[in-house]
Amino acid sequence: MSYVEMPGANVPIRMWADPKTVEGAAMQQLRNVATLPWIKGLAVMPDVHYGKGATVGSVIAMRGAVCPAAVGVDIGCGMSAVRTSLTAADLPDDLSRLRSKIEQAIPVGRGMHEDPVEPGRFHGMATGGWDDFWGRFDGVAEAVKFRRGRAVTQMGTLGQGNHFVELCIDVSGSVWLMLHSGSRNIGKELADHHIGVARELPHNQGLVDRDLAVFVADTPQMAAYRNDLFWAQEYAKYNRALMMALFKDVVRKEFKKAAPTFEQEISCHHNYVAEERYDGMDLLVTRKGAIRAGSGDYGIIPGSMGTGSYIVKGLGNEASFNSASHGAGRKMSRNAAKKRFSTQDLEEQTRGVECRKDSGVVDEIPGAYKSIDKVIEQQTDLVEVVAKLKQVVCVKG
């Protein structure tokens, strides 16, 4: 599928989704974004849906400006995956023990480690850069510095909502490890602080939506946000790396006889800002629920907790600012899902998956999400499929 171009105030809205299927509130958000004076392009992914601050599944390219609410509060949220030497034949019939071991190793929800997890204890894990990373915490906003202790002990934890840790099998029978998480509470604290600052700036007072308040180049507010933004994105990357190390450690212990090995990890942000160049212009590209899909870039596009996911390779389509969708995308809100579905529905829709099946995760039921297969079909000019995975264990926060 190629994109459909919709009119916008300052730039056209390029859509890799059928405009007729996009909810009205999301379309209005997109039109609002297109009114920003600094905008140079707007691309919309097939998993598009209404989001807080800005539309989920949107790629916003601006010159000399960035919108903190469009990035969102889970700065650097993204995915990691790795193929193992294990096959489906190596797995036991009962996977409940494996799920329990994963949950013991990786705190979920609001949980955190009792003591900081040292990366040096894990075989093969890169340890360079950690000291420098934590040293730069001294340069973040004063308003969040009191959270350092929590940030340290939450490093290597999952969080809640749609975050997950999964053990999957691809169509060839290979076992994969996959997880989804971001910058935890420290990312939220930094985002909330800067969103509040942006809303009070004079140049933002006439915007059609207060959530679209921006920082502009060559100002102290922009410099402060960029510093904290890029630090939080790095936190999210390290958080996923540490969780994957913990996950591998569990798998090594549980499958000791099989002596599992692991290929190179695939990792990608899908809520973040990148400095990129298009049409001779240096732009700040915000991917709000979208991954980078430059030529040859590997990415991960997950479905819901019962339907499976895709490993993809980018095709480098500049019309989308080298982007692709970040997942299946919700087709109903969490509250709507809780009203529409029961725990019995959850059990039926996650049959064959070792996972929670209680009321606390009904809002994550597969029926609340769009079809991941359809989402992939709508972006064949953005990515090519490398592997299709189906989860057999899913740990939710």
Question: Angle CA(260)–CA(310)–CA(384) in degrees, nearest 5?
Answer: 115
Could you give the 3-state DSSP secondary structure of residue 184?
Answer: helix
Specify whether 193 is catalytic.
no
The first and second tokens of residue 354, run together, are 């070792």
Q: Residue 149 belongs to what H/E stretch?
A: helix 148-154
Could you give the 3-state DSSP secondary structure of residue 306?
Answer: coil
CA trace torsion 14, 15, 16, 17 (10° rounding): 180
The DSSP symbol for 118 reads P
Strands 271-278 and 281-288: antiparallel
Q: How far apart are CA 199 and CA 180, in angstroms?
A: 30
Strands 13-15 and 281-288: unpaired
- Residue 30 to residues 41, 70, 191, 246, 287, Cα–Cα distance (Å): 11, 11, 21, 39, 13
- Nearest-Å Rg of the Cα atoms of the chain is 20
Residue located via tokens 């599992």:
260
Options 163, 193, 194, 326, the catalytic residue = 326
Q: How far apart are CA 75 and CA 273, in angstroms?
A: 9
Strands 78-87 and 56-62: unpaired
Which residues does the annotation mark as catalytic? 326
